[in-house]
Structure 1
Amino acid sequence: MARTSQILGPDGRPIERGTLTQTVAAPAVTGVRRPFSGTIATGLTPERLAGILKRATEGSVADYLTLAEEMEERDPHYAAVLGTRKRAVAGVEPIVTPGDDSPRAGEIADFVRRSIVDQPWFNGMVMDLLDALGKGYAVCEILWETGKRWTPSACPWRDPRYFVLDDTRTTLRLAADGEPKGVELPPGKFVVHMPRIKSGLAVRGGLARLVAWSYLFKAFALKDWVAFIEVYGLPLRLGRYGQSATQKDIDTLVAAVAGIGTDAAAVLPEAMRIEFQGISEGRGGAELFQRLAEYLDGQVSKAVLGQTMTTDDGASLSQAQVHRGVQIDVAQADAGDVARPVNRDLVRVAVDLNHGPQDAYPWLSWPITEPEDTAAVTQQLTGLVPLGLRVRADDVRERLGWAAPEDDDEVLGGAATPTDTPPGDPAPAPQRATRAAPQVTDPHDDVDELVDQIDTAAGPATDALIDQVRAVIDHADTIPEVIARLERLYPDMRLDDLADVIGEAMALADLAGRAEVDDV
């Protein structure tokens, strides 16, 4: 009998160490966990699909899971968008955050990185767990090996049809011969992922259930489209023979008409001919089937990715940015969903087996963040730095994702250091990126100095406006004429430069005020 440890699994039951080193849910040639199954998608009808979905809700999920797998194999579009959603998380480098700031927590976090995250099987396990996005749940079995430490040696995917739902439809049990309701999963042996795509039962939350009807209607559309092409895709071949033609001549003509579609050549007596006639009745039918298939693909994209911009459509940059934001939200939710079972069923058990129960456990996560808009950062720096805003170079490099150069690195940019300046001569001033305005060296200088800088920066724009008004006054004889000329001039007056200076001044004033408040 296996020795019972005092370490409890995620469900509160004690972990039996003897069971951890055994393979529990491997496929077998005979029994309820066979590695092969029949087909469901072949000959699928609306009536059969409705029955499959109904039985899945009642707990008989085998047919539904088989259909979900076949949908990924038969529909390239569904396979592509579902794979994109999986790789959006699986392709991100995971991080391990210690439970607290103590040295002990740091050592445990290092153990998790070495024994789990850095192992060659880890990324495959994550991809296998994300199979739950389509089917509603996914299970990987942990194969432990023991020596000085308990470490997982592999975590293979187990077919979801090897598991059954309990009477509440919320807990998975391992299918077993002679056990219609299955047996309990041994604690510490499985990572079970049930993503929260929608509220309710896990088996009703899989994307395959949502996409199944679109898949079925698209299959009908493609079948009818192919049949249409067979009838209307080729021109009608019409053979003609004269009144004096013999039966042998007619047989020769029939053979020629039948074979010309593949042979593209025929030999006929001089009195016979073959004509190709287009059929106008089928014109426009192909577009109908294509529009239906494209519409259904769009619905699948919306269901899986939450949008269609990055898969089907192409439009403006602003629209693409909005849709990209939707993708990031979906990926962040998926990353949070898969992190919970990995930490609960794998990380915590590994820590308990090797370091004992902890008050705070390390947390394994997949950081998915919005890409930095480098153009916006550059524009802000170009506008504000010449007006006196001081920024730490390290902060800018971090925002842009650039590393600080080492002493022996070849670099681009920066002010050139003069080497041949005669003694006593002033060194050349560094070049500025925008209008030549005196640069503030201290963000806490007097307000008068800031006003002087703004006045200098606004000088060219203000002078241009004054020159326009002066020209109007010089060419007018009366005040009413001046007013009339100014009214006609106003729509054509260029205020963009002055508006830029005012905007930059307001931003600088706000930043200066914030700096003063921070120092108080």
Structure 2
Amino acid sequence: MSKQGLYIGGDFVTFAEAKKTQPNIQQIASRSTVSGYSSLGAVLPNPDTVLKKMGKDIKAYKDIKAHPVVKGCLRRRKAAVKAKAWRIVQDDASDLVVERINSIFKKLQTNKITGAMFDATFFGYQPCEITWAYTDGAWLPANIQAMPPDWFFFDADNNLRFKDKNAGQTGLLVEPRKYLVPTQDASYDNPYGEPDAALVFWATAFLQGGMEFWVRFTEKYGSPWVIGKYGNNYDEAKQETLLNNLYAMVQDAVAVIPDNSQIDIIEAAGKSASADVYEKFLMYCRSEINIALLGQNQTTEAEANRASASAGSEVTADIADGDCEMTAEQYQLLIDWIVDYNWGGPSPQFEYFEDSNGGIEQADRDAKLYTAGARFSNQYYEREYGFQEGDLLPPLEQVPPDASFAEHARAYHPVAQDFAEAVVPTLEQAAADPLNDMVNRLRRVVQSAHGYENIQDAVLAEFSEMDSSDMVKIMQLAMTLSELEGRAEVTNE
């Protein structure tokens, strides 16, 4: 019996062999093939358990978003994402593509767009519509606008659809590359994502309800009761008059009553325990919201100490990193679309990075690395510590950690003996006439110093009466002269 197969590249390959060497590209598990799945047409219901139990849609989450505690936590997380430094990394992309992408992102309202995409953490998903425009010979995103998530739904194939009034129940299928749809922990089973709103919905609802009862309790028992006593000869009209007078007394602390009436002011005693129950319940609800949205409640509670608050901040930072990754994926997708529309080829990469801007921890680390022998360029200082181009002078050749003044010059500056004498006149001429006296004083300081490390203290003592701006110029000149003096000494030896 002949084997069944195909000739591939001149070789006969049987179907059995092909099955062993090639992966199966067909999807086996899907909603259309699984047993017991009842499809509702093109509509895939949101599987959120809170919304399903209430029989509501995602609009219910919009109401609790405005609550002060929830809003405060979201603002804190959103601010952490907006404050994160980002950059475009060239990777395998061409210089032209990187330059154009950088130019495009400088014109985009990235702060607004990032804040809009962040809302996906609260609702689970957040569609953002891209308005494309042909500008400067390329298709570019002119605007990116967040749209209400309740206007959209997903179909059985996990495709985004818009609730168009003319499209009926199936909705309008969103065109490719028209929407950025950041989602939080979305999956095949749940393309809507996991909303943080589901975690805080009941705590927020109870917090709002408990606050209402607490206000009523405070109004009822927080103020003393004014009780008026009337005699047997008071008819209903007189009783009504006395009641009105007492009401006016409570409001204005002034009242006119008959001389045979009696007024008692009674404090509401024994109700503090009831008030504590309301307060503890409200604090519990607030803590639940903080834990759900920030990962901790240490930085928001009065009982927290510095150590626990610092530990809580680290947890919050981890959550902020996760939020940044969600937005970074969407920005990278946008870059890929722009490059594919216009130039093709590899795309540069969008990434967030830690912008220490001269933080103490990084400065300590760099100091230790310097002691170990590492040397950093001006570009490194500009990038990591926030200096602008031109702020830093060209670096002098560094002194080895354990070398003496003379050894430093011998190892790193082999120069001619008359080099210092040849350069000093040039430096003096550059300093101009007002600095001639200073140069002479500097020469004396340098010649009398015992080593390179003593130069700075000696110069500060010599010119302590000078203006600080002049002192900067003198220090720069002094360091240069000390270098030359050290070279001359080594050559003489």
Q: TM-score range by the shorter chain?
A: 0.5 to 0.7
What is the CA–CA distance in structure 2 between the aligned matches of 1:193 and 1:318, rounded to whole Å?
35
Per the alignment, residue 415 of structure 2 pairs with none
Aligned to 1:351: 339
State the Cα distance separating 1:280 from its structure 2 match. Answer: 1.9
C-alpha displacement of 1:319: 2.8
Pair 1:430 & 2:459 matched: no
Q: Secondary structure at the match of 1:138?
A: coil
Contact 1:197 1:206 in 2 (8 A): no
1:53 equivalent in structure 2 = 52
- TM-fit CA distance, 1:85: 1.2
Shift, 1:424, TM fit:
6.4
Q: Would the aligned equivalents of 2:358 and 2:386 in 1 still touch at CA under 8 Å?
A: no
- Flag the 1:391–1:151 CA change in 2: closer, same or farther, 3 A: closer
Secondary structure, counterpart of 2:444 in structure 1: coil
Cα offset for 1:179? 2.8
Q: Which amino acid aligns with 1:419?
A: L
8 A Cα contact 2:214 2:275, kept in partner: yes
- Flag the 1:50–1:225 CA change in 2: closer, same or farther, 3 A: farther
1:132 and 2:120 aligned? yes
Aligned to 2:243: 254
Deviation at 1:273, TM superposition (A): 3.5
- Partners in 2 of 1:423 and 1:93 — Cα distance? 44
Residues 55-454 of structure 1: matches in 2 within 5 Å?
63-73=56-66, 75-100=67-92, 105-115=94-104, 117-147=105-135, 148-167=137-156, 170-176=158-164, 177-196=166-185, 201-203=190-192, 205-242=194-231, 249-313=238-302, 315-344=304-333, 346-356=334-344, 358=345, 360-368=346-354, 374=360, 378=364, 392=375, 401=385, 403=387, 406=392, 419=442, 421=444, 425-427=448-450, 430=453
Q: Quote the offset at 1:122 in angstroms.
A: 3.0
Q: Distance in 2 between matches of 1:391 and 1:250?
A: 93
How many Å separate the matches in 2 of 1:389 and 1:286?
63
Give the superposed CA RMSD.
Answer: 3.6
| Residue identity opposite 1:146 in structure 2 | Y
- Residues 184-215 of structure 1 deviation map (CA, whole Å, 9 limit, x = unaligned): 21112111111228996243500011111211
Identify if the C-alpha distance between structure 1 residues 55 and 97 changes in structure 2 by more than 3 Å, giving closer, same or farther.
farther
- Going from structure 1 to structure 2, the CA distance change for 1:155 and 1:399 (only over 3 Å counts) comes to closer
Following superposition, the deviation at residue 178 of structure 1 comes to 3.6
Distance across 1 between alignment mates of 2:50 and 2:327: 30
Deviation at 1:164, TM superposition (A): 1.5
Measured after TM superposition, the shift of residue 241 of structure 1 is: 3.3
**In the alignment, which residue of structure 1 is the partner of 2:436?**
none
TM-superposed CA distance for 1:272, in Å, is: 2.5
Deviates more, 1:133-142 or 1:226-235: 226-235
C-alpha distance in structure 2 between counterparts of 1:179 and 1:399, whole Å? 54
- In the alignment, the residues of structure 2 paired with residue 355 and residue 426 of structure 1 have an alpha-carbon distance, to the nearest angstrom, of 63
Provide the rounded CA distance (Å) in 1 between the counterparts of 2:126 and 2:62. 12
* Cα pair 2:186 2:192 within 8 Å, conserved: no
Shift in Å, 1:71: 0.7
% same residue: 21
- SS of match in other structure, 1:310: coil
User: Shift of residue 400 of structure 1?
Assistant: 7.8
Structure 1's 281 and 216: CA in aligned 2 closer, same or farther, altered over 3 A? same
Bigger Cα displacement from structure 2, 181-190 vs 297-306? 181-190
Residue 139 of structure 1 and its aligned partner are, at CA, apart by: 0.8
Q: Which amino acid aligns with 2:328?
A: A
- CA deviation digits over 1:54-85, x for unaligned, max 9? 478xxxxxx33211111112x11011101211
The TM-score, its normalising length taken from structure 1, stands at: 0.61
Letter in 2 for 1:347: I
Amino acid at match of 1:139: P
* Structure 2 CA distance for aligned equivalents of residues 85 and 198 of structure 1: 23
Matched residues in 2 for 1:196 and 1:68: separation? Answer: 18
Structure 1 pair 407/137, CA: closer, same or farther in 2 (3 Å)?
Answer: closer
After superposition, give the CA deviation of every residue in 1:450-471 in whole Å (9 maximum; x if it has no partner): xxxxxxxxxxxxxxxxxxxxxx
| 3-state SS in 1 of match to 2:353 | coil
CA contact (8 A) 2:139 2:338 kept: yes
Post-superposition CA distance 1:129-163 (Å, at most 9, x none): 11111101001111111142111111111111121
Unaligned runs of 5+ in 1: 1-48, 57-62, 409-416, 433-520
Q: Identify the range of structure 1 (310-319 vs 326-335) with the bigger mean alpha-carbon deviation.
A: 310-319
| Structure 2 counterparts to residues 424-503 of structure 1, below 5 A | 425-427=448-450, 430=453
